[in-house]
Amino acid sequence: MTAPDKKWRTLIVERLRDRNRSESSNYNELIQCNNRLFDTNIQLSAENLRLVVENEKIRSSSSKGSGDSSLDNAKIQNLEKKLLIQQEELTELHKRKGEHSQQIIDLNKRVQELLKVIVDKDSSLAEQKILNNKLKAEVQMLTTSIQELKNLNTCLRDEHTALQLAFVANEDKLRKAQDDNRVLVEKIGQIQKQMAEKMNDENESFIRRMSERMRRELEDAARDGSRRSNSPVIQDRGSIGEILSHRGLDPVYLDVLPSGVQMKFDCHDGEVNAVRWNPIEQIVATGGADRKVKLWDVSKVINDFG
């Protein structure tokens, strides 16, 4: 027999003993009193029968002789008195027996009611035990869920801390990169400024050299014209460029103000702050609010518009 079977059997025996104890302990005194009354009733019945027999014997003996009649009458009266007392006691015992029987009936009804209440209590207790087990299971499940949520919260906090540290490091890197970029932009601006100044100086020097060269060529051409006697006379006076071209000299470049807009295009994101033309080629350099210097080939645009 296994341990659970022993425990189950022991529990049943203990419950049976408790039931017998609770049901019989309240009625032991009544049952014992009833048994005593029943024994007394039997004794009184036997005594009554004996007295009846003696009374009959006395009556039969009194009919045989009258000598002892006075003595027999006294005995008879005494016996009748005892019989009367015994009958009264028997009546009282019957009365008490009826009362005890009624008490036993009432107590049995009360026991049945209590047993019904106990059954209801046991049923309610079983339901409460089932509900308690369900609640314990729910509590265990909720405890497990809370522990999992705590672990997840700890993991998320660790990840948040790591991301915060990475963010701070990246923010430092970004700040450093922005500082480096600002320094580089300043350097590039200085270099572009120096390059623009250098380009302007070169352009101005080139223009001065070209102007000096053109002046010398014009002076040489004028002296050659005065010495040549057989040179053809130009009837139609054209432009200086045509005359120089006719004489095999380079054309003269003059500065003129434009009379209208020949083309229009967007150079920069924002305003245009500076424009510089290249005197050699049809290239223009522009600088704008976006801090950029751009070179444009105007000849292509002019050909497209022409």
* Per-residue pLDDT reduced to its tens digit, 134-158: 999 999 999 999 999 999 999 999 9
Element (H, E) at 293: strand 293-297
| pLDDT score recorded for residue 250 | 52
Nearest Cα residue to 58 out of 46, 86, 50: 50
DSSP state letter for 233: P
| pLDDT score recorded for residue 258 | 65
Both tokens assigned to 191: 């270099």
Query: Hey, what amino acid is at 285?
Result: A
Q: How far apart are CA 242 and CA 150, in angstroms?
A: 95
pTM exceeding 0.85: no
Q: How many Cα atoms sit within 13 Å of 133 on the Cβ side?
A: 5
| pLDDT score recorded for residue 236 | 42
Q: Which residues contact 287 (CB under 8 A, 6 or more apart)?
A: 192, 196, 268, 272, 273, 274, 275, 293, 294
Residues 43, 44, 46, 50, Cα dihedral to 10°: 130
| pLDDT score recorded for residue 133 | 92
Nearest Cα residue to 276 out of 207, 178, 182: 207
DSSP state letter for 286: E
Q: How far apart are CA 185 and CA 293, in angstroms?
A: 13
Both tokens assigned to 103: 């008490």
Is residue 276 within 8 A of residue 285, CB to CB? The reply is yes
| pLDDT score recorded for residue 123 | 87
| pLDDT score recorded for residue 257 | 62
Nearest Cα residue to 22 out of 127, 121, 152, 115: 115
Distance of CA 84 to the CA centre of its chain: 95
| pLDDT score recorded for residue 282 | 76
* Per-residue pLDDT reduced to its tens digit, 30-41: 777 777 887 887
Distance of CA 59 to the CA centre of its chain: 110
Q: Which residue has the tokens 């189950």?
A: 8
Q: How far apart are CA 207 and CA 215, in angstroms?
A: 12
Residue 287: CB atoms within 10 A of its CB come to: 20
Positions in the chain whose pLDDT score sits under 70: 1-6, 25-27, 61-72, 225-258, 261-262, 300-306
Q: How far apart are CA 178 and CA 184, in angstroms?
A: 10
